[in-house]
Structure 1
Amino acid sequence: MATEAAPPSAPLFDAGLHARRWIDDYCVRAPAADMLRAGSPAPWRAMFEELAAVASDDLGHARERVQRHAADMGTGFRIIGEAEERPWPVSPVPLLIDTGEWAGIAAGVVQRAELLEQVVADLYGEGRLVADGVLPAALVTGSPLFLRPMVGLTPPGGLHLHFIAFDLARGPSGEWRVLADHLRAPAGAGYALENRLAVGRTLGGLQAKLNVQRHAPFFAAWRAGLAALCRRTDPRIGLLTPGRYNPSYPEQAHLARYLGLLLVEGADLAALEDQVYVRTIGGLKRIDALWRRLDPRLLDPLAFDTHSQIGVPGLIDAYAAGNVVLANAPGAGVLETPAFHAFMPALAQAVLGEPLRLPTIATWWCGGEAERAHVAANLDTLTIGPAFQHLPFGLAEDAPRAALLADLARRPQDYVGQEQVRLSTMPVVIGDRLEARPFTLRVFLARGGDGGWVVMPGGFGRIGEHPEATASVIGEGLWSADVCIHGPEPVAPVSLLTAPDSLHVRRNPGTLPSRVADNFFWLGRYLERGEALLGAIRVLLGHSIDVEAGAVLPPATLGQLVGAIEGAGAAAHPATLSRAALTAFAKQAMEDEGYHSVARINRHARTIGEGSRDRLSADMVRLLEAPFPSQRGMLERAGSLQRRYAAIAGLSAEHMVRTSAWRFHDLGRRIERAMGIARAVRLFGMAGASIDDLSTLLDLADSQISYRQRYPTGIARVAVVDLVALDPGNPRSIAFQTERIGARLAELPVLSDDEMAEPQQAQATALHAIVVTAEAATLDADRLGDIERRLGMLADAVARRYFLQGAEPLRATGLTLA
């Protein structure tokens, strides 16, 4: 008898079911003005279905996944006053805005950008707004951001503003208002890009489902707009950074890499005859434009702050001559101050003849009598803050009322009162559920190739920590969100990558600033120095402390090994050679940062890595920034460190393209290794050396296996010295290092075309000749000391030739200007 077929089983996992449950549970608790509740449900449902497909029913997993993608890209930031970077906090839930609502926002910010451009041009030009009474003179000249040296100066191309940002807030009734203008050095565009990358890797199908507008066209337009203002058809453009201690340095490095800009610091640049040059290993190379992230008052000590140590003397003269573009123009930040917000409605009418499409939050500048009285009478309902600097909203609310009123009466022009801003909320993952949190939106604008404003479709959201917060500042406990502008029309897959058949192929990696070459040289030296010191510590631990390692070294050899570690400045000499004393000595040499320990050397390497993010892979940066091992046993910690050094060496050898940066890195390694081996041979390989001395030398040179394979009958001094010092086939020998040093120097640029060797090349050739003509039987301490001294002189010669810094003559003989 036939049996009835069983109905098909339901799918084990239904992403739509999870998405509907999340949304229903959230909407019961969220405020009515929440972005999810107030918007169309279909896009949010599609987004949460995509999230469920990735995280199943575990929202916490989704948060960890998107955070891991951000960490893989090296995204981080630093709070001012903190030494360590924090991971960039990304929410897995993007903010969704449809194209209809976004069109109104974009039109409003473009109008505001045009207004600000005309106002700043007037303030530093004719000054009609002050003369006609539209603006009080004290509002302008009393601002610390007004730069008098810029008055009357016409910027290249006649434009002051090139890249700006606005912080927007969405009110409970759905209206958008401007919280702040960012005109000096707007931060966050790189974070918006990284948020998109992290969320895109997590929610891979969202782009196609919602037709999310892409960021790449905005960045392409910005790069084209900056190039269009330059006087050369193939300009050299740099991103001027304050350096790695700046809170948003990781973002700056990411932007420079993404846009193909040269990441430079003030010390990398020099002004000469109204031109600006970058100091490179090939001489001075002309810079045509700088996207500056440096405080304008620190740009040029000859024009602004004379105490600035990070600016470029003469930069403003070159700017005034039209030979370098600065984005944005110094002095534009005068319009950033909260006091200016009080005058924006009047400025829109006076300059544009129309009201603001995006209103500014209501602001009263206390420099006017009526405004001061209004603020004093409404202290309980207004937020009181400084007039000429941005601080988190509400900081002045906690000031004693009497003291605030007294200071307000004494210096009213220093204060503003602003309405307390209530923010709309959006969903964010807290724990394992969705919670409503207030947000603000940072929107970015840049000038395109035609000089018009282009708006980044989205920007990034900043999410408050508490449900009742009125504004948010990125910090502990806060999150950022990708902002997706979606609509019914398909979006073309635009990328910054050039069409495959239109790109001119080249193998020149581009300009290498002298500072970067210096960093890579010392990165190689520090890594080699740390690995050599760790090797000595491991020999000490294995032969004198670990009872299972075999024979203990005799006191004479042990004393010399201790002396080598002490001579490196890694630890203080132990009182005795007892096991306990040597254990403490080894621990100090590994971990005590009061000495030149392995930990301290690693910290120096990490510092260089942090400042070279634009040229190092994320894997390399992660290895350099990894915390010091914490295993219980010292041998285990030492082994962990050794494996880390081996991984870094492998990345350097097999994954770094053979550019000049790699050549300096390798050059530093070779010089440091040759010096270390020369010292080791002098200590453990001279006439009268014991078997234990020679075995220790083989350990320090990592050549035990090579020696045993070559000489199975036993250890002999001359054979050991030949292998460790003079064998050109041993990658640990001095001869191998000197040959590679000469090769690296031959590959670096020279300043003259007479085909004569430069000093560093001549010194390397002479050193290699001494090594390859030496014989192991007669290689004595004096010869080894001379080799070590020559290596030090060679390192100094490399630094003098390639690492141009400070006050070196800009017209040095043969110096190339290009």
Structure 2
Amino acid sequence: MKYEPGSRFFDEMFTAQGEVRPHYQGVLDYLDRLGVREFQRRHELLDVAFRNQGITFTVYGDAQGTERTFPFDPVPRIIPASEWAHVEAGLTQRVKALNAFLRDIYSAAEILGDGVIPAELVYTSVHFRREVHGVMPPQGLYTHIVGTDLIRDEQGEYLVLEDNLRSPSGVSYLMANRQAMTRIYPGMFENQGVRPVQQYATELQKLLSSVSPREHGTVVVLTPGMYNSAYFEHAFLAQQMGVELVEGRDLFVDSGRVWMRTTGGRQQVDVIYRRVDDDFLDSLAFRRDSSLGVPGLVEVYRQGRVAIANAIGTGVADDKAVYAYVPDMIRYYLNEEPILNNVPTFLGWNAEHLDHMLANAPELVFKAVGEAGGYGMLIGPAATAAEISEYLEKVRANPREFIAQPVVGLSRHPTFYPDSAEFEGAHIDLRPYVLCGDPVTIVPGGLTRVALRRGSLVVNSSQGGGSKDTWVLDHDGPALPSGMSQLMQGDVTGAPGFQAQSQSQFQGGFGSVPIDAAQEPHGALSPEHAQRRERVAEEAQIEAYEQSHDPPPPTPPDAKQHQSQSQSQSGGGRQSQGQSRSQGPVDSPGGHSYQQQLEKDELTGGEG
């Protein structure tokens, strides 16, 4: 692979001396064997797959249109086991402290009384909700799902950039990325020992069910609707968990309980995984003009008859000004030193900090504390004098609403640019997803976001960013000499709740090779023979993928009864002969699993 790592930024794949890091050696060898032309051809297949599956996001206020396919770069970001253990421990520590902080400030507020965090800072946050003060959610859990953004500085140290505790998004792209990679680049995973991610939906469903006020309660996903930027994710997660996707108009309050309208009559709702902001949840408690929520919901919540994830009022803990005090929270509640450090932060409400911010604006990154998605930012070194002057007027007018941080040189990663057909360094960050049950569960890896605009430090999709598949290995590298990798057992053959079936090592969801041949260990062959056979099998799989975009011929009536026991020749060989697919999460409108819908999309080009 032709690539210049440079020396200014920490490079994820190569050392400062230009040597490949051990945990990347297997992928680098694979890319060299594959070649740029074949890599680019498969990259184009990924774009087609994402379009057919509707993997999109929305950019508001864009004259070119709002609906876009989420950009994806196939060169994976790889994290070795020991490195991930450090990140995992730091995230677990952090979410425990954040949950303790929320539980405290909505009750006795001891951390404020002890002067660890200024009370003014908390009570002036637009996300502090007095309406739920004194309300204790089920199990005292406020932060069910957390997305914490991490970066690596020039020395390679992981730093926390911000916490997302209201409605962290992006996990659906993480899962879709892995699914697509195992299909289009199956040989890349061979012997790598990549930990699976597709169990996330099952773990999320377990967590939500565990906070239900009733045994065997009903869980729903509440969405603002199809025009929301993350609607694909709302639908994806509901389908994967096998629960209903609802809008506010589908729910109502009666007799002190929340009910869902169904064709069979009303059904009580016990847990709401809401993807609607606090302001719009209940027009009787918050914004009177909201039609996205459920009137009366807050009162039912106060009575303990419905659980809401994440809890109302969690946004105060991801206020970008409150973020600066998370290390103090860790020391106060856990009596521990932070495992993961913050980026140094200047607070506009602090007079000394404000003076520093105003005097050094060309060297700092400014952020509005209530904004997200890359909006409300000013990157001083990249801004003009006029832009800085205009921005500072806003800061002076309302300093509480702004913070500033030094420019951190985000780590870079080899990224493929189709316009030049070359691999170039692009800046990345990482958003792991934390499920805060007992115990805390973290998806191995997370969503790696990449700044696809050359030279940009902004990774947000709304600002031209994309994503990468993130691998967490079960070792520190190089690649394992064993046969079948853990990923192929988890992400392809079916983590619990995703797809319970047995597949050939080389099937990957499209095409197949003979089962007995695929299961023969590479150790019985010479390295040259093994690589040649791997390439042949992979090419056969990709050919099957390309052919699968033509609609299959109709199945004769007398053959339908045999479909659960034999592979359809047009279906890409998704399961071994003699085995039937166990039923996955049910999609309420059609009664079929999401995986089956993906298969239909792939066979019909996304229509019908």
TM-score, L = length of structure 1: 0.57
Greater RCO (CA < 8 Å, at least 6 residues apart) = 2
Q: Which residue of 1 aligns with 2:224?
A: 242
Q: Which residue of 1 aligns with 2:516?
A: none
For this pair of structures, how many residues does the alignment match?
505
Mean Cα deviation higher: 51-60 or 415-424: 51-60
Q: Is the 8 A contact 2:149 2:161 kept in 1?
A: yes
**CA–CA distance in structure 1, aligned partners of residues 43 and 429 of structure 2:** 20
1:410, CA displacement in angstroms? 4.4
The structure 1 residue matched to 2:426, chosen from 437, 440, 446, is: 437
The structure 1 residue matched to 2:25, chosen from 36, 45, 61, is: 45
Q: Which residue of 1 aligns with 2:159?
A: 177
**CA–CA distance in structure 2, aligned partners of residues 342 and 351 of structure 1:** 16
Deviations 1:662-716 (A, max 9, x none): xxxxxxxxxxxxxxxxxxxxxxxxxxxxxxxxxxxxxxxxxxxxxxxxxxxxxxx
1:68 paired to 2:48: yes
**CA–CA distance in structure 1, aligned partners of residues 310 and 585 of structure 2:** 30
The structure 1 residue matched to 2:57, chosen from 74, 77, 92, is: 77
1:469 paired to 2:456: yes
Deviations 1:256-296 (A, max 9, x none): 11121211111111111221111011110111211111112
The structure 2 residue matched to 1:395, chosen from 378, 395, 398, is: 378
Describe the SS at the equivalent of 1:63.
Answer: helix
1:409, CA displacement in angstroms? 4.3
Structure 2 stretches lacking a partner, 5+ long: 502-579
- Map 1:296-695 to 2 at 5 A: 296-390=278-372, 391-392=374-375, 394-395=377-378, 397=380, 398=383, 400-402=387-389, 404=391, 407-431=394-418, 432-448=421-437, 451-475=438-462, 477-488=464-475, 491=486, 493-494=489-490, 495-497=495-497, 617=597
**CA–CA distance in structure 2, aligned partners of residues 313 and 110 of structure 1:** 35
Decide whether aligned partners of structure 1 residues 504 and 271 sit closer, same or farther in structure 2, where only a CA change above 3 A counts: farther
1:93 paired to 2:63: no
Q: Aligned letter for 1:395? A: L
Deviations 1:70-125 (A, max 9, x none): 23432111112355421121111110111111111111111110111011111111
1:59, CA displacement in angstroms? 3.2
Describe the SS at the equivalent of 1:205.
Answer: helix
**CA–CA distance in structure 1, aligned partners of residues 92 and 54 of structure 2:** 32
Decide whether aligned partners of structure 1 residues 94 and 295 sit closer, same or farther in structure 2, where only a CA change above 3 A counts: same
1:102 paired to 2:91: no
Decide whether aligned partners of structure 1 residues 368 and 49 sit closer, same or farther in structure 2, where only a CA change above 3 A counts: same
Q: Which residue of 2 aligns with 1:772?
A: none
Q: Is the 8 A contact 1:277 1:287 kept in 2?
A: yes
Describe the SS at the equivalent of 2:472.
Answer: strand
Q: Aligned letter for 1:34? A: D
Q: Which residue of 1 aligns with 2:238?
A: 256
Q: Which residue of 1 aligns with 2:514?
A: none
Q: Aligned letter for 1:90? A: F
Q: Is the 8 A contact 1:443 1:459 kept in 2?
A: yes
Mean Cα deviation higher: 104-113 or 470-479: 470-479
Q: Aligned letter for 2:167? A: A
**CA–CA distance in structure 2, aligned partners of residues 77 and 613 of structure 1:** 23
Q: Is the 8 A contact 1:238 1:290 kept in 2?
A: yes
- Map 1:12-51 to 2 at 5 A: 22=1, 25-27=2-4, 33-38=10-15, 41-51=21-31
- Map 1:110-259 to 2 at 5 A: 110-259=92-241
Describe the SS at the equivalent of 1:380.
Answer: helix
- Map 1:697-708 to 2 at 5 A: none
C-alpha RMSD of matched pairs (Å): 3.3
Decide whether aligned partners of structure 1 residues 55 and 613 sit closer, same or farther in structure 2, where only a CA change above 3 A counts: farther
**CA–CA distance in structure 1, aligned partners of residues 335 and 148 of structure 2:** 22
Between structure 1 and structure 2, the one with the greater Rg is 1
**CA–CA distance in structure 1, aligned partners of residues 500 and 397 of structure 2:** 63
Decide whether aligned partners of structure 1 residues 57 and 623 sit closer, same or farther in structure 2, where only a CA change above 3 A counts: closer
Q: Aligned letter for 1:436? A: G
**CA–CA distance in structure 2, aligned partners of residues 338 and 485 of structure 1:** 29
Q: Is the 8 A contact 2:93 2:330 kept in 1?
A: no
Decide whether aligned partners of structure 1 residues 281 and 621 sit closer, same or farther in structure 2, where only a CA change above 3 A counts: farther
Q: Aligned letter for 2:27? A: M
1:453, CA displacement in angstroms? 1.0
- Judging by fraction of residues, say which structure has more helix: 1
Mean Cα deviation higher: 175-184 or 377-386: 377-386
Q: Which residue of 2 aligns with 1:526?
A: none
Decide whether aligned partners of structure 1 residues 408 and 30 sit closer, same or farther in structure 2, where only a CA change above 3 A counts: closer
Describe the SS at the equivalent of 1:342.
Answer: helix
TM-score, L = length of structure 2: 0.76
Q: Aligned letter for 2:67? A: E
Describe the SS at the equivalent of 1:326.
Answer: strand
Describe the SS at the equivalent of 2:3.
Answer: helix
Decide whether aligned partners of structure 1 residues 29 and 172 sit closer, same or farther in structure 2, where only a CA change above 3 A counts: closer
Q: Is the 8 A contact 1:51 1:203 kept in 2?
A: no
**CA–CA distance in structure 1, aligned partners of residues 220 and 241 of structure 2:** 10
Q: Which residue of 2 aligns with 1:283?
A: 265
Deviations 1:236-264 (A, max 9, x none): 21111111101111122112111212111
**CA–CA distance in structure 2, aligned partners of residues 506 and 56 of structure 1:** 39
**CA–CA distance in structure 2, aligned partners of residues 372 and 433 of structure 1:** 44
Identity among equivalent pairs (%):
28
**CA–CA distance in structure 1, aligned partners of residues 464 and 585 of structure 2:** 44
Q: Is the 8 A contact 1:124 1:153 kept in 2?
A: yes
Structure 1 stretches lacking a partner, 5+ long: 1-21, 518-611, 627-647, 652-818
Q: Is the 8 A contact 2:257 2:268 kept in 1?
A: yes
Describe the SS at the equivalent of 1:93.
Answer: strand
Q: Aligned letter for 1:181? A: D
**CA–CA distance in structure 2, aligned partners of residues 88 and 381 of structure 1:** 31
Q: Is the 8 A contact 1:463 1:478 kept in 2?
A: yes
Deviations 1:579-637 (A, max 9, x none): xxxxxxxxxxxxxxxxxxxxxxxxxxxxxxxxx997994588799999xxxxxxxxxxx
